[in-house]
Amino acid sequence: MNRLLRSQVLLSTLGLGCVVALLATSSTISHAEESSMERTITVSASGTAEAEPDRARITSGVSTEAETARQALTQNNETMSKIIDELKTKGIDPKDIQTASFNVEPVMDYSKDGQPPKLRGYRVSNQVIVLVRKLDQLGDVLDDVVSAGANQIQGLTFEVSKEDTLKDNARKEAVANALRRAKLLAAAAGAEVGNVLQISEETSSSGPITYAPRLAKAATASVPIEAGTSTLEARVTVTWALK
């Protein structure tokens, strides 16, 4: 009986020792995992750069109505051909003239006395996008397009041809702003910024933002045009190690 009791006590003691050993091992592994986890800080920031537009796009077209679709189409083709010929005569490269839309639709008369609508004729619309690579020609081009018969001017946008290259200054400013904020936040937390671990840039296709307008050189000769200045923006997200 005493021998059996001693055996049970011995087994209990060995079991307790194994449990303690396992807990110690688990604590060591957990501490090692915590030590291997690298502390980081991630900051997003933006930067801007200013550039003067050096080209523009005009969306212009012709809308004609006639009793038949054939008549409307013939009249529209004649006017649009005249506009395109005028653009080419003024030095616009054919590759910079692109058809944007072409529509043929019926024109209905709707009476107010509840009668069914009646077909009045047909409307044909044709629009082109013209890239003007020299801003000093823009005013004259607009004048020529309207004079040749265009009765629709849907839009005029300015562009910076070397936008991606000129945006490099904005990218540098964005990274500098991100680093400044990272150092500020790290210092507040009692840490220091270490090596860069990752950098990513957000891309967008937003059009140029025009402000501080000024009169373009071509404006004095024909249609007044204000080219202004475009603001190019870059946004980055940077991750640093903390030490």
Q: Is residue 29 scored above 90 in pLDDT?
A: no
Give 66-78 pLDDT, tens digit per residue: 999 999 999 999 9
Domain end marker among 159, 176, 193: 159
Do 48 and 76 share a structural domain? no
198 & 232 share domain: yes
What digits encode the pLDDT tens for the residues 139-150?
Answer: 899 999 999 999
The residue whose two tokens read 């200054």 is: 169
Write the CATH number for 238: 3.30.110.170
CA dist list (Å): 226 to 159, 216, 240: 13, 5, 44
Task: Report the SS3 class of residue 201.
Answer: strand
Q: At what angle do helices 138-147 and 69-89 cross, to 10 degrees?
A: 150
Structural domain that includes position 31:
1-37
> How many domains is the chain built from?
3
Same domain, 147 and 223: no
Average pLDDT over residues 197-213: 62
Averaged over 205-226, what is the pLDDT?
44
Are residue 188 and residue 123 in the same domain, yes or no? Answer: no
When pLDDT is averaged across residues 149-172 and rounded to a whole number, the result is 90
Which of 56, 48, 20 lies closest to 129, judged by CA?
A: 56
**Its pTM surpasses 0.85:** no
- The CATH number of residue 82's host domain is 3.30.70.2970
